[in-house]
Every structure is written in C-alpha cells, then in structure tokens.
C-alpha cells in the first residue's frame, strides 16, 4: 500500500513555510521548499522511506500554486495569508520487487480535520500571536534517545522563553551534553513545532539555526513582543 504524505506551503512574514504530514502527525516543517524538505525527511528516515523513483524524468514532481487571498504572494508575504503548494510524487519502489510506494499530495482547505490542515492553522495562529494550537499539534520524527529527549524538552519550553544549550541538556537528563543538545537542535526536522530557535548559547548569543540567524532573531523578537502582550492582557 502507498504511504501517503501531504504537503502545503504557508506564506509567513518570515518567508514560505513548508509542512509535511501524514494522517497522524507532522513529520517535517521549515522555511524551505517542498523538494528540499522532502529530501531531508528521506535522509532522516533512511531505509524507512523509499528513495528510488520509478517515474520518467521530468514527471517526478508536479506542482500547482494558488493563494487563498487575491492579494497574497506565493513566494513572499508581509501578512499571514496562506499559499498552498500542491505536489504529487509518483510511486517510488524501495527495491527490486518491492511494491511499496510514496505518494506526496496536498490536502486542500476542504479537509479541516486533517493533521496538515490543523498544522497550517496553527502556523497562522502563531504569527497572529496565539501559540497554543502550535504547541498541541502532533509531531513525529526519527531520533536517538537523547535527541528525542531534547526535542521533548524544547516542546515544553514555553512561548517567549529562552534557554541555553546547557540548560536544554539538563532538561534532557545529561547536563554535560550541551554540544549534543545543540546537535539535536541542528538535526530537528520539525521547525517551529519543535522550537529549537529558543535554544541559545550560554553567553546569550543566538548560536546556530538551519534557516539563518536573521530568521532566528525574528522569531525570538516576535515571541518576546507577543509574550509581553499576553502578560499585559
């Protein structure tokens, strides 16, 4: 049976944000295009996901872009309007004689109960200053025991909060593993939902971020301002 993944791209003030999900959880998310994110997911899953395409060259990825608001841009936006990227990757065999396949397709706005639709709504709510639905969105990613504990610790780091890699390692059960905690942040496949941007160096500097330090600072500044508004309310 095919393994169905669903993909969408949301236009945010920080750039296009792509989400990949199956029927139960978000598997990957970040400020990048769908092909790049899918390849990262394949590399993370290793043998658990197919890697060889049986489709003719040039037919591997079909994409159609549209926007929900007539004035919204499909590439960049200064508002939280949504753009969707409809992607279909034909069946891919995992090996000779193996009939399992991977199908990546979009879930439209007509399916509000899907994980992808809920995740999309959560991202838009986050940029409107409401992080609650983002924090309650189900996620799943392949990781070793310590990295998994780091990811869990990140998910319990609240909106507007920051912590050092050393503090993150402590929360994950190994206070001497600050470098391993930073590595777990770098390997995190589900940006924003697993908020690795909240982890900083011990001296308070921003450290690294897969999507660039300017974007990390933007997220931290947005959350600082949003947290202050919540406290004032």
- Residue 212, Cα to own-chain centre: how many angstroms? 15
In the residue annotation, 185 being an active-site residue is answered as: no
Segments of the chain scoring below 70 in pLDDT: 1-3, 47-113, 231-233
Nearest to 9 by CA among 113, 112, 28: 28
pLDDT for position 63: 35
Domains of the chain (ranges plus CATH)? 2-135 (no CATH), 145-232 (1.10.10.10)
pLDDT for position 18: 97
Exactly one of 41, 172, 196, 199 is catalytic; name it. Answer: 196
Q: Where are the beta strands (DSSP E) in the chain?
A: 2-12, 15-21, 26-30, 62-67, 83-88, 101-105, 163-164, 199-200
pLDDT for position 231: 67
What's the CA gap between 209 and 156, in Å, rounded?
19
pLDDT for position 233: 60
The β-bridge relationship of strands 2-12 and 62-67 is: unpaired
pLDDT for position 99: 29
What's the CA gap between 138 and 134, in Å, rounded?
9
């Amino acid at each position: 049976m095919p393994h169905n993944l669903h993909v969408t791209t949301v236009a945010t003030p920080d750039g296009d944000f792509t989400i990949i999900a199956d029927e139960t959880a978000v598997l990957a998310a970040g400020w990048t295009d769908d092909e790049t994110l899918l390849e990262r997911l394949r590399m993370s899953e290793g043998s658990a996901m197919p890697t060889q395409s049986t489709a003719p060259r040039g037919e591997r990825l079909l994409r159609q872009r549209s926007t929900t608001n007539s004035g919204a841009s499909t590439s960049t936006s200064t508002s939280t309007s949504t753009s969707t990227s409809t992607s279909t990757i034909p069946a891919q065999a995992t090996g000779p004689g193996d009939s399992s396949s991977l199908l990546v397709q979009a879930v439209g706005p007509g399916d509000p109960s899907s994980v992808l639709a809920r995740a999309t709504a959560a991202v838009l709510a986050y940029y409107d200053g409401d992080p609650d639905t983002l924090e309650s969105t189900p996620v799943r990613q392949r990781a070793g025991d310590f990295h998994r504990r780091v990811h869990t610790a990140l998910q319990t780091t609240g909106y507007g909060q920051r912590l050092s890699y050393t503090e993150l390692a402590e929360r994950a059960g190994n206070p001497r593993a600050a470098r391993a905690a930073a590595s777990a942040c770098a390997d995190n496949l589900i940006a924003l939902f697993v908020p690795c941007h909240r982890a900083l160096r011990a001296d308070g500097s921003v450290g690294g971020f897969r999507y660039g330090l300017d974007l990390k600072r933007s997220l931290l500044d947005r959350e600082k301002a949003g947290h202050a508004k919540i406290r004032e309310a």
